[in-house]
Amino acid sequence: MRTQVGIIGAGPAGLLLSHLLHLRGIESVVLERRSREYVERRVRAGVLEQGTVDTLVEAGVGERLKREGLPHHGIELRYGGAGHRIAFERLVPGRCITVYGQQEVVKDLIAARLAAGGDVRFEVDDVALHDIGTDRPSLTFGGERLDCDVIAGCDGFHGVSRDSIPGGVLTEHRRDYPFAWLGILARVKPSSEELIYARTERGFALHSMRSPEISRFYLQVAPDEDVAAWPDERIWAELRTRLETVPGFALATGEIIERSVTPMRSFVAEPMQYGRLFLAGDAAHIVPPTGAKGLNLAVADVRVLTEALARFFASGSAEALDGYSRACLPRVWRAQHFSWWMTTLLHTFDSDDAYARRLQTSHLDYVASSDAAGTTLAENYVGLPYEESL
């Protein structure tokens, strides 16, 4: 078998790349080790930047997103017994975020690829990369071989792509945080129209949503927390303690349909390429979810890679491909800093003393009261504009 671009991973990065390449007349094959049912039901991020929404709409896969997505024009910072709204419509006019689950994006992209005759293969075993340092790379899987001009590694942090790069090529930057998030999905109407980021002495809490009927919550917990230690009653009690801190706010409760513990870490591998292998999304970088940047960074990577591949196949020039990492990394590091900043601003640390906590409160006060500081948060949260067009 042969294709122009072999793509490993049928998450948002791999599927969107395949679809954008299709729109440019470039062939691809997507290989995914999980089943279609698994990737379509896997609950992940739910906050889409303005640029991500625009990209999906421009690519022709935004019809259901426009119909069912929930545009938000602000978020609330809740601390010290008061709520402080960061108003996007005033601070960054014309830009907002949209709440629409990652699994819904995946469903839309899979449907679009299959409707267009795209080659997306699920439950693929033993994917291996070969000759990635040459101009004749290939993939093997399940006893088959796929020759490619280029390979895109979109298979996440634990995938095979990054580990296939020879030792000593990549510089890996990593930071692990001394806490995790307990994520809860509940069948209950959201208690707020916008996301609430709450800082308390007991730890951070986030009130989010996935639809008008489904709410998403997060609690800061220990990094080795056992999810079995959190029955429904304990979860709701802790959420009330951390969220019901302003007058008049009451948390609605309901059936908890999913709970899991997510470690908090930051990671960047650079360069994001080696030979004819190009990494995108979580295969190249991880951010703590506080800033809602993971999925959105993957989309930004894919936009750059699509344009570079289009130029390569149109002219034979590899100049844009060679500059892929240089084009992506400034945005990656901006998102890294923003995610770190939001995380340190809102979480409690065991090492904090009274001085550190007062500094944290002072910074929150500044963000809540200063248009300059609030705009910094708002423009990073809704996503910096893209310099290039699709």
DSSP conformation letters of 198-223:
EEETTEEEEEEESSSS-EEEEEEE-T
Among residues 72, 73, 107, 347, which one is catalytic?
Answer: 72
Which of the residues 177, 218, 324, 381 is marked catalytic?
Answer: 381
Position 178, amino acid: P
Q: What is the pLDDT of residue 389?
A: 64
DSSP string, 109-163: HHHHHHHTT-EEE-S----EEE-TTSSS-EEEETTEEEE-SEEEE-S-TTSSTGG
Rounded to whole angstroms, the Cα distance separating 148 from 21 reads 14
CB contact at 8 A, 51 and 295: no
Per-residue confidence band for 132, with pLDDT thresholds at 50, 70 and 90: very high
255-300: per-residue pLDDT in tens?
999 999 999 999 999 999 999 999 999 999 999 999 999 999 999 9
Q: Tell me what pLDDT residue 153 has.
A: 98
Pairing of β 285-286 and β 255-270: antiparallel
Burial 30-39 (b: 16+ CB within 10 A, else e): bbbbeebeeb
Tokens of 93: 């006019």
Interval 172-202: pLDDT, tens: 999 999 999 999 999 999 999 999 999 999 9
**Residue 347 contacts residue 179 (beta carbons within 8 Å):** yes
- Over range 130-142, report the average pLDDT: 97
Q: Catalytic one among 288, 289, 324, 347?
A: 289
Confidence of residue 381 (pLDDT cuts 50, 70, 90): very high
Q: What is the mean pLDDT of residues 295-312?
A: 98
For residue 387, pLDDT over 90 is answered with no
The pTM of the full predicted model, rounded to 2 decimals, is: 0.95
Q: Are the beta carbons of 75 and 378 closer than 8 angstroms?
A: no
Range 48-73 average pLDDT: 97
Is 22 a residue whose pLDDT tops 90?
Answer: yes
189 is catalytic: no
Q: Is 381 a catalytic residue?
A: yes
Catalytic residue among 107, 285, 293, 347: 293
- Return the pLDDT at 43: 77
Judged against a pLDDT cut of 80, whether residue 156 lies above it is answered with: yes
Set 79, 100, 177, 197: catalytic member: 197
Whole-number average pLDDT of the chain: 96
The CATH number that domain 5-74+93-173+265-348 falls under is 3.50.50.60
All structural domains of the chain with their residue ranges: 5-74+93-173+265-348
